[in-house]
Amino acid sequence: MPRELTRVTRIRLARSLPAALLGAALFALMAAPSALAAAGSTPPAGGAATSDIIIATAGAVVVSILLITPVVLYKNGRFAVLGRLSAFAGKVSGVPGWAALPGAVLVGTLSIAVFGMYWDISLHLDNGRDPGPLANGAHYFILAGLFGVLLAGIIAMALPPGRTRTAIRIPILGWDAPVGALLIVLCGSFSLIAFPLDDIWHRLFGQDVTLWGPTHLMLIGGAALSILGAWALHVEGVASSKPDGAQPTAYVRWREIALAGAFLIGMSTFQAEYDFGIPQFRLVFQPILLMLAAGVVLVAARIRIGRGGALLALITYLGVRGLLALLVGPILGQTTPHFPLYIAEALCVEGVALLAFRGRSLAATPLRFGALAGVAIGTIGLAAEWGFSHVWVVIPWPSSLFPEAAILGLITAIAAGVIGGFIGRCLTPGEARSERMPGWIVPLAAAAVVGVIAFSVPMSAGHGHTAATFTLRELTPPPNRSVAATIRLSPPNAAKNAEWLHVLNYQGRAGRPSSIDPLKRIGPGVYETTKPIRVTGRWKATLRLAKGRNVLGLAIFLPQDRAIPATEVPATNGMTRPFILDKKLLQREAKKGVSSALTLIAYLVVLAIFLGVIGTITWGLRRLERYASADGPQPPAKPAAAERPRPSVAGRSAAPPIAPA
C-alpha cells in the first residue's frame, strides 16, 4: 500500500476490500460453469467437469479483481482516470458524469451480449451441444456483456460525489448510490447468477435445449430489465442537473431514444425461439409476447420522450435487429433470426396520443393513455402483425389461431399498456398528474399478463392415436445420405386446422444452417417434402405437428448420442411412427425419472428469485418518481454522524457533494 495514503484512507480501503473480495467470490461462482471444453469426442450433456470449474473460477477471480480494483481505488482517491472519464462524459452529454458514463458502458456492453445471445442460439440450432461452455465463441460475448452490465452498475454506485435526491445508503460500503445504479447491479447479478444455476440445473435435469429454461430466462430477463435501471439512472441525472423549464439537449434526447430502443430489443429477446422458427411451446405465445413488448415499451417511450417517441424507439430497434440478422445469418453463415416489425403498434401509440390526447401531457394521465394505446395495439397492431407473419415470419400465423390469439393478445396488450403507462409515469417525475393511480391497477395488469401466460402454457400429446407413414426416396447415397418423403398421416384429418406441420432438419454440424420444410399437401392426409431431409451424421430430422394444445413430434432420424445415452433412430422406407410430445424430442438430453417434487422445488426457487427482482425494480421506479423531482419529497435524512467527509489524498481535497437542484 502506498505510503502517501492517509490513515483514514487506509481504513476506508480496508473496509472496502472485504466487500470487493466478496464480490470477486460471487463473480467467481457466477462464472464457474463457463469453462474450457472437456476432453472427449462427445459433447457433455449435464454440467461442466470439476477441472473446468476450477479453471473458470480462477479466471473469474482475476476478471473480478480487474473490474473491482479501479472502482475501489477511485473511491479512495487513487484512480483519477475514472473521474476524468466521468467528467468527460458529463461535459459531452450535459448530464452528470455519474449518470452519463455508466449508461454508455451499459448500452455498449449489452450490445455485445445481445449479439452473443443470438449467435449462441444459432450455433446450438445448427451445431447442437457445445464440446464445452467456452468452446462456443458466442459465450465469450455473452459473459463479457453481462460482466459489463454489472461493472456499469458498480461504477454508477461509486461515481456520485455526494448524496443525490434518490440516493440509498449502502452501509457495508458507506456509499450513497443512485436507485438506478442499484437496479443495474441487481439485474446484472441476476443474469450472471444464472450461469452457476444453469450448470446445477443441467446436473439435476439434463440439458434443457430451450430458450425458455428457467435459468435461461433469468439470464435474458436480467439483461433486459437492466435497461430500466439505466433509464432510471439517466432520469436521475437529468433531474439533478436540468433547471426548471430547460429543454433537453440533443444528447439527452438521443440517449432516451437509445434506451427505449434497447428496451424494446430486450423485451423482444423472449421471442427468440419463434424468431428462429423452432418454438417448443404453443404458437399462441408469439402474438402474446409481441403485444407485451409493444405495450410496455412503446407506451413508456411515448410518455417519456414525447412526440414521435414510439417511432424513434422503433427505428433504433429495427436498425439493431436488422444488423444482428445480417451478422448472424449471411455473414457468419448460421440460421438467420427473423423479427417482428412493430411498425403498426408504434403508429397506434402515436395515433392515440395525437387523436385522444391532443394538447395534453401524456405524463398527466399515463395509465389512461396506456390502456387506450393497449386497445389500439391489441386490435390494429395485432392484425397488422398477423398479416406480416405471412411475409417474413418463419411460421405464419394460421386462421386456426383465431379467436384465441386475438382475445389473449388484446388482454395482454391492454395490461401491457397499463404497465407501460406506470413505467412512463415513474420516468417522468415532477410532472403534474390529473389522474389517481389506484394501488390495485398495476398489480391487476401484471396479474392479467401472468394469467394469460399461465393459461397458454399447458401442452399435451393428445390421445396417442396419431401416426405417420413414410415413403422415402433416396436423393444422396451414404455417407451423406439425404432423402425425400411422402408422408401419410393417420387419421387423415390429423393436420386439419393445425398451427404448423413441417419437417425440421437441424444440428448437422456440417456448416449448413437448419431448415424447416412446411410440406406440400397432395391429398387428404398426404404430404410431400419440398426440401431434402439429411439423415446422416449428427443431423436430426423430426416431423412436427401443433394443433391447439397438442404440440406433437415424431423422429424421422436421430443420431446415436453416447452422452445421454441414446441409440440411433434410423430413417427407413415404409416406417410408421406415432407422434409423441414434441418437447421429448427437442429436449432429448433431459434426464428421465427425475423426482417431480425436486422439479417443483427448483421451479419455485427460480420463480421466487424472479419475483424478488421484479418487486425490487417496481420499488425502485416508485422511489424515482417520489424523490427525483425538485419539488418532490426528499428522502429521509441520515444522521450527521453517518455523513463523513471524503478524505483528501496527496494534497487534493475531495470533490464537494452535488447539492440537490
Over residues 480-519, the pLDDT tens digits come to 999 999 999 999 999 999 999 999 999 987 668 899 999 9
Q: What burial class does residue 448 get, using C-beta atoms within 10 Å of its C-beta: 0-12 exposed, 13-18 middle, 19+ buried?
A: middle
User: Which residue(s) pair with 484 in the sheet?
Assistant: 473
Over residues 48-67, the pLDDT tens digits come to 566 666 666 677 778 778 88
Higher per-residue confidence, 29 vs 305: 305
Model confidence at 24: pLDDT above 60? no
Of the given ranges (151-165, 205-219, 341-355, 456-470), which has the lowest mean pLDDT? 205-219
Q: What is the pLDDT of residue 578?
A: 96
Model confidence at 167: pLDDT above 70? yes
For 10-35, what is the mean pLDDT?
42
Confidence of residue 200 (pLDDT cuts 50, 70, 90): confident
Tell me the percentage of the chain whose pLDDT exceeds 70. Answer: 84
Model confidence at 249: pLDDT above 80? no
Model confidence at 40: pLDDT above 90? no
Model confidence at 30: pLDDT above 70? no
Higher per-residue confidence, 229 vs 38: 229
Confidence of residue 28 (pLDDT cuts 50, 70, 90): very low
Of the given ranges (247-251, 483-487, 585-589), which has the lowest mean pLDDT? 247-251
Higher per-residue confidence, 644 vs 455: 455
Quick one: CA dihedral 212, 213, 216, 222, positive or negative?
Answer: positive
- Could you say which DSSP state residue 295 is in? I
649: nearest Cα among 10, 118, 184: 10
d(CA 317, CA 16): 40
Higher per-residue confidence, 133 vs 585: 585
pTM over 0.85: yes
Exposed e or buried b per residue across 62-77, where buried means at least 16 C-beta atoms within 10 angstroms of its C-beta: ebbeebbebbbbbbbb
Say if residues 225 and 148 touch (Cβ distance below 8 Å): no
Over residues 119-130, the pLDDT tens digits come to 999 998 998 877
Helix (H, G, I), strand (E, B) or coil at 346: helix
User: Which residue(s) pair with 590 in the sheet?
Assistant: 206
Over residues 514-529, the pLDDT tens digits come to 999 999 999 999 999 9
Q: What is the pLDDT of residue 385?
A: 96
Over residues 70-82, the pLDDT tens digits come to 888 888 888 888 8
Helix (H, G, I), strand (E, B) or coil at 9: helix
Q: Write down the mean pLDDT value for the chain.
A: 85
Over residues 140-151, the pLDDT tens digits come to 899 889 989 999
Q: What is the pLDDT of residue 132?
A: 66
Over residues 318-371, the pLDDT tens digits come to 999 999 999 999 999 999 999 999 999 999 999 999 999 988 889 999 999 999
Exposed e or buried b per residue across 116-127, where buried means at least 16 C-beta atoms within 10 angstroms of its C-beta: bbbbbbbbbbbb
User: What is the CB-side half-sphere exposure of residue 202 using CA atoms within 13 A?
Assistant: 23
Confidence of residue 235 (pLDDT cuts 50, 70, 90): very high
What string of DSSP letters covers 175-211?
EEE-HHHHHHHHHHHHHHTHHHHHHHHHHHHB---ST
Q: What is the pLDDT of residue 52?
A: 65
For 277-284, what is the mean pLDDT?
94
Confidence of residue 198 (pLDDT cuts 50, 70, 90): confident
Residue 304 CA to its chain's centroid (Å): 22
